[in-house]
Amino acid sequence: MLNLKKFAVTGGLSSGKSTVCSFFESYGGHLVDADAIVHRLYSTSSICKQKVVDLLGQAVLDNNQLDRQKIAKIVFSDPQKLRALEDIVHPMLFAEIDSELKQIEKDGTSLFAVVEIPLLFEVGKEEAYDYSVCVACDERVAKKRWMQSGHDESEYIKRMSRQLPVEEKAKRADFVITNDGDKDDMKMQVETIITKTAGR
């Protein structure tokens, strides 16, 4: 069984993390989509659903399904409820991620895997990965992208207040990818990282 290299991609809101993950995937990496796992937990795990409803109330349901936008609106305005929600979701999320990574390693079809984890350092999960990658971009650009995707500025500020400053993430990361809007350049930066870590 080959030793699976594990990359964790982090960064601020709308910094380009998903794009970077897609580039890793294009170079043969296996993408583990943490956001999709949370979505799956919300929609298919009766245990997760009941715990979230117990915490936040029936108002977070839409057609008897958890509504992520309603959940976000509540928890990002209430730090205590946000922490409580994370205490529910994070153990399930990281158990699912670990399970997927073990399966990828068992299958032996990929040399590396990449996981997008915005709160990598905040939750102390960096040691679970071989390499951490921070995607950094100008905050004004990130905020503009966030608002262009249909969100408002106040929500950006609330969510980013939960995260470490991008500069701190960059200091802690093994690699930093600068996103100045040039996707070809970002892809080259990913390729450089893959080349540097090959054989390690």
Assess contact for 65 and 43: CB atoms under 8 A.
yes
Among 39, 31, 41, 10, which Cα is nearest to 122's? Answer: 10
- How many domains does one find in the chain? 1
Classify residue 191: in a domain, yes or no.
Answer: yes
Classify residue 118: in a domain, yes or no.
Answer: yes
Q: What CA–CA distance (Å, rounded) separates 120 from 126?
A: 6
How would you write the pLDDT of the chain (200 residues) with one tens digit per residue? Answer: 458 999 999 999 999 999 999 999 999 999 998 989 999 999 999 999 999 999 999 999 999 999 999 999 999 889 999 999 999 999 999 999 999 999 999 998 888 999 999 999 999 999 999 999 999 998 888 898 889 888 888 888 888 988 999 999 999 999 999 998 889 999 999 999 999 998 66
Q: What CA–CA distance (Å, rounded) separates 194 from 187?
A: 11
Classify residue 157: in a domain, yes or no.
Answer: yes
Alpha-helix residue ranges (DSSP H) falling in 77-123: 79-107
Domain CATH for 10: 3.40.50.300
Assess contact for 108 and 2: CB atoms under 8 A.
yes
Containing domain of residue 188, as a range?
Answer: 5-195
Classify residue 200: in a domain, yes or no.
Answer: no
**pTM score of the predicted model:** 0.91
